[in-house]
Chains A and B, each alone.
Chain A
Amino acid sequence: MGIENDIDQLFKRGLDEPEIPFNELDWEKMERKLDENKKRKIIPFRVFTASGIAAALLIFLFWFLSGPSVPKNGVNSQLTEQKGKTGMENKLPGSEADTVKIKQPGLSHENITGTQGTAGSRDHQELWAGNGQPQAADAVALAAIAKDHTGTSPLIPLVAAPVYVSSAPFRAAVPERTAVPAKAPQRTAAPLTDSAILAQKAMALALSKDPLEKINRNDITKSVQKKMDGALSQRPNLILSAMAAPDISSGPSSTSRSSKVSTNLGVLATYALGSKFSLTSGAIYAKKYYNYSANPGGSSTYTPPAGTDLEVKADCNVIDIPVNVNYKVLDKKKFSVSVNTGLSSYFMLKEKYDYIIDRPDQPQLVTTTEINNKNQHAFGIANVSVSLDHQISRRVSVGVQPFAKLPLTGIGNYDVNLKSTGVSFSLNIGLFPAKKPGKLAANRYSSLY
Chain B
Amino acid sequence: MLYKEFYSYGMAICRRYSLNDYDAADVLNDGFLKVFTHIEKYDPAKPFKSWIGRIITNTAIDHYRMNLKFSDHDDVDTYQHIGDAAAIYDQLAYKDLLTLVQSLSPAYRTVFNLYAIDGYSHDEIAELLKISAGTSKSNLFKARQKLQEKLAALGAKKADDIAVDNNTNMNTEA
**B-binding residues in A (CB < 8 A):** 5-8, 10-12, 14-23, 26-27, 29-30, 33-34, 37, 184-185, 195, 198-203, 205-207, 211-215, 217, 220-221, 224-225, 227-228, 440, 443-445, 447-449
Contacts and interface: CB of A to CB of B under 8 A. Distances in A.
Nearest to B92: A14
Contacts, number: 158
Contacts of A34: 33, 36
B39 interface: yes
Q: Name the residue among B11, B35, B36, B42 with the largest chain A CB count within 10 angstroms.
A: B36
A449 B4 CA distance: 24
A26 B44 contact: no
B164 interface: no
Interface string B1-40: 1111111110110011000000001101110111111111
B54 interface: yes
A30 B38 CA distance: 16
Given A37-B33, A202-B35, A448-B41, A29 B25 contact: yes
Interface residues of B, number: 62
Interface in B125-141: none
Interface of A is mostly: helix
Given A15-B12, A15-B94, A22-B7, A206 B58 contact: no
B86 interface: yes
A32 B15 CA distance: 21
A313 B86 CA distance: 105
A272 B84 CA distance: 70
Contact of A228 (B37, B44, B65): B37
Interface of B: 1-9, 11-12, 15-16, 25-26, 28-30, 32-42, 44-45, 47-49, 54-55, 58-59, 62, 65-66, 81-82, 86, 89-90, 92-94, 96-98, 100-101, 112, 115-117, 144, 147-148, 151
Question: What 10 A-B pairs come out closest when comparing CB atoms?
Answer: A221-B40, A8-B116, A203-B2, A14-B97, A447-B58, A20-B8, A202-B2, A18-B94, A206-B2, A30-B29
A447 B58 CA distance: 7
A224 B40 contact: yes
A217 B40 contact: yes
A448 B58 CA distance: 9
